[in-house]
Structure 1
Amino acid sequence: MGSTAACPGLHPPWHGTNSRACACLHSPVILDPADPTGILGQGKNWAVVANEAAQCCSLPCVASAQPWDVQPAQPVKVKIRLLTGNSLTRTVSLDTTILNLKEGIAQQWGIPPYQQRLGQQKPDQTLHILQDSETLATCEIFCSTTLTLLHTETQEMQILVKDIKNRTSTYTVRPTDTVRQLKEQICTQLGPPADQQRLTFGSEELEDRHTLAHYGIQSKSIIYLLLRLRGGTGPRRPPFPAPLPS
């Protein structure tokens, strides 16, 4: 394949770097559209590779070629180990997120996800903390492994609140704070009474009685603020124009 246009869309970034380097060689470059690990095709330019592959497959010289029997990536065993020595093992797919793992740990051990830090030990013995949005594949975990679980105290975090005028304010909160407590913070900083605020996150309206952790709100999450109309509906207008004076 002579073009590297698709390289910027490959994920993780090192795939693009490696592809560009290989394209400078005199050997063929093979990108597998089947993508058994599920991590290559996340960029918007992956369609460029797919279209190029389709054109190549239509050439007479490959008309008799047999397709590869590509098998999906196999599940892996992940051992979660506490510093106390307790451990549990889960068998999961490569597209499992770190947050998914934390939710399973919460069910097993009762530790809320926001009090968990999952770390992967590096060759230099340092512990690399994994982010909730990452998958095992994007963490380059393709075989059975052991992750270390750190049980932390509830930490303060900063979240963003954006209003209908696209203005953004920052608030320092804890995952255990309720939505009502956040509304009271907004009232103190911006002015609108808590009862007139509507907060949404991920297209879901937040209820006063629930905590921020209940909705999966994390550091740097964006919450949208709308204001309720005061006094019900606006003034009524006659359905037809008023008659002209005679």
Structure 2
Amino acid sequence: MALSAEMELYSTPASRLDSFVAQCLQPSREWKEEVLEAVKTVEQSLREEPLEGECGLDQEVRVLKLVKGSGCPCETPHPHSCFMSPPVLEGSTFKRPKLERPRSIRQSQSVPHLNIKETEAQRGVLFLPLLLVSSPVPTSSLQGSHLREGFGNLSPHLLPASEARGPSAPHSQPPPEVYVNLVKACRYPGHLSPSFCELQRDFVKHRPTKLKSLLRLVKHWFLQYVRARSPRAALPPLYALELLTIYAWEMGTQENESFRLDEGLTTVMELLQDYESLCIYWTKYYTFQNPIIEDVVRKQLQRERPIILDPADPTYNVAEGCRWDIVAQRACQCLKQDCCYDSKDNPVSSWNVKRARDIQVTVEQWGCPDWTLMVNPYTSIRKVKEKIQRRQCCEGLQRLSFQTPSGERKLLRSRSSLAEFGIFSDTRICLLETIPPEIQVFVRNPEGGSHAYAVDPNSFVLGLKQQIEDKQGLLRKQQELQFVGRVLQDWSVLGSYGIKDSDTLILSKKKDTHFPFLPS
């Protein structure tokens, strides 16, 4: 008895997943040719007629470029965008689309509208081109005033990806200035993401053939067992599933092109079940070398998980605001099916994939050279201290703290992890040894920087000022320390002010002096 299309994957033994992909998910040559012919028809129609007048534009605008995008821009258009958002088509054949020009951009949010008839066959997945519209006026940045003048109510993300990226060569990393302009012009996360659709496409496209088979398998599962059963839910875009699958392959196989599809599928399902711990990003097209980009990415990584940053757009978390709980439930069901069990009826083993990449932690200690260690963000601070102990042989009590560029210095407690503080990228931590009855206090200077000091609560304020002079270079007599609004007197005991462990004191220069701080 033939099984329904919905049950095909779940009834396929794990050992036959390669055959399943080849027979059911690989598009035929004839199908590809028909798709290309239809795409040419669409492109020709768009290029022949300018968009003006009836579309609400105050000048003629022509289509300069059509880009075959990945799942993200085509599937989940951003608010107020003006690009073609075609459906995902499944089928071995499909009929040529009819082009219908809408009366107004505001009515359709697409130019032109595609009315595509689908067939019942379930073979292959097609993403039609993403349409990006541009003014004929030359542009040099994402923020030019001529954009607002030329487009009226249209947003800058109507620029073609090639212009938004600047003069960079295909498949290369855009200049940092492109992303700096993106950050300045971006009104909301992912606002200008369509301008980088070529990078998004290339990130997925230039992958090994076997990985593409796994991508097809995961997307087929998502369409058949998640989206089809929850059509009205705010589910993640296919692009998010693609990125998660690529991450699983990179971390689980060390980018080995020879792997088992059943293990890959099982790994992705397990990651989906643990979606609340996911924090994934890449530095292929943007890096932390530029402080503006670094600040944006670090803030993104501190937000609620799951986090899957678009590798082409640091402002866009493609996993945000989606019903991952529904996907996790379906993933749990998938792990119970034949496709995740071997011939001996044992669960297929998964790859060892961490929910976040290991990061480099630089340890700073006054009087000692800096050194680094690799740590996973979900590793407990207690285990980090154990690594430090093996390296440093600390005699006193270890006190670890860190400070973000614009925030307060915080104590890293043993029961916590770096992930709880939103630390998922390379960072610096301060190591301070205290010997009872010493406590740790933080001293913040006017520039916002903060340093940790070990002090005895029964010692004089002058002793702390001496430490500050040794470490920061400001003479004791030029220092003024405050705690909760009170100025600390040199010959007073620190404990008399109610100062406790990990409290922060404010350091300033006395007004009757002109001695600057020496570099710390």
Q: TM-score, normalised by structure 2?
A: 0.23
Q: TM-score, normalised by structure 1?
A: 0.42
- Is the helix fraction higher in 1 or 2? 2
* Structure showing greater Rg: 2
- Is the strand fraction higher in 1 or 2? 1
Higher relative contact order (CA 8 A, sep 6+): 1
